[in-house]
Amino acid sequence: MKLLLVDDESKLVEALSYLLKKNGFVVDIAMDGETGIEMACTGIYDIIILDRMLPYLDGVSLLKEFRRLGHSTPVLFLTAKDTPDDRAEGLNAGADDYLVKPFFTVELVARLQALARRKNKEIVDTILILDDIRFDPQRAQVTKKDRVIQLTLKESQLLELLIRNQGQVVTKQRIIEKVWGYNSEAEESTINIYIHYLRKKINISNLKTVRGVGYYLPKSNITKVAN
């Protein structure tokens, strides 16, 4: 699960990032509101953790603009502003949850997991069928001609990204941001290796390489069925 943490308290950010990573999250960081909204609008995050008091663009203004632009990514306010009016303002701006500093890490993790379950319910409960491929993102499994093929986490995330963006070129930069993270040091050669793994494992004959740009799956008959 990929999180964007937008907060300007460097010590808190460092400690919280460490704890979240220990709990299995991939964490990117923005230290001001302008950087935060730019990163948030990439669409690569599952959840955004947002402070209210930020340099350049405050959290409430950031969130209002983010929602105005049509983004539905769950947002949890993590802030010291704790009056009922503060909470109401944050929730009315479009926040999905509100947690006051100081907080217990176990509660934050539980709230994040609850937001993730709510956001991903449709995806988790869905199997994608593409031509002769039956893909279960939750289990990272492909069934092809009655043969079950187990994918690694990265292979599964890459395949899901390609399938859900059929008819569009998925750039290498977007793949790196979505599968490895915004601040990842992954290189294009890493993507090439994972594309090779996918082609070898499940033989997607119509997966095209757009040289120097990314990869492309032509539009096909994709079906979603209940899992």
Give residue-wise pLDDT tens across range 159-216: 988 888 888 898 988 888 888 876 667 788 889 899 988 888 888 778 888 988 999 8
Inform me whether the pLDDT recorded for 221 exceeds 60: no
Phi, then psi, of 184 in degrees rounded to 5 = -65, 150
Q: Tell me what pLDDT residue 119 has.
A: 66
Inform me whether the pLDDT recorded for 4 exceeds 90: yes
Last-in-domain residue among 106, 122, 138: 122
Same domain, 112 and 143: no
The Cβ-side half-sphere exposure at 16, using a 13 Å CA radius, reads 26
Encoded tokens for 206: 């119509």
Same domain, 13 and 105: yes
Average pLDDT (40-61) is 91
Q: Which of 200, 196, 201, 159 is nearest to 178 (CA)?
A: 159
Q: Tell me what pLDDT residue 16 has.
A: 92
Domain extent, residue 45, equals 2-122
Same domain, 110 and 148: no
Phi, then psi, of 6 in degrees rounded to 5 = -110, 105
* DSSP string for residues in 1-39: -EEEEE---HHHHHHHHHHHHHTT-EEEEESSHHHHHHH
Q: How many domains does the chain have?
A: 2
Same domain, 84 and 131: no
153-157, 215-219, 220-224, range with the lowest pLDDT: 220-224
Last-in-domain residue among 122, 139, 171: 122
pLDDT digits (tens, 9 = 90+) for 84-105: 999 999 999 999 999 998 889 8
Per-residue confidence band for 227, with pLDDT thresholds at 50, 70 and 90 = very low
Q: Tell me what pLDDT residue 220 has.
A: 67
Point out which residues pair with 215 in neighbouring strands. 170, 209
Q: Which of 209, 20, 16, 194 is nearest to 101 (CA)?
A: 16
Same domain, 112 and 177: no
Strand positions, DSSP E, 55-177: 75-79, 97-100, 126-130, 133-136, 141-144, 147-150, 169-171
How far is the C-alpha of 154 from the C-alpha of 13, rounded, in Å?
Answer: 26
CATH code at position 61: 3.40.50.2300
Q: Tell me what pLDDT residue 128 has.
A: 80
Same domain, 167 and 77: no
Last-in-domain residue among 88, 122, 156: 122
Q: Tell me what pLDDT residue 226 has.
A: 44
CATH code at position 175: 1.10.10.10
* DSSP structural state of residue 204: -
Average pLDDT (111-139) is 75
How much of the chain is in helix, strand and coil states, percent to nearest 5? 40, 25, 35
pLDDT digits (tens, 9 = 90+) for 66-88: 999 888 889 999 999 889 999 99
Q: Tell me what pLDDT residue 219 has.
A: 75
Task: Please state the pTM of the whole predicted model.
Answer: 0.61
How far is the C-alpha of 11 from the C-alpha of 144, rounded, in Å?
Answer: 49
**Are the C-beta atoms of residues 66 and 37 closer than 8 Å to each other?**
yes
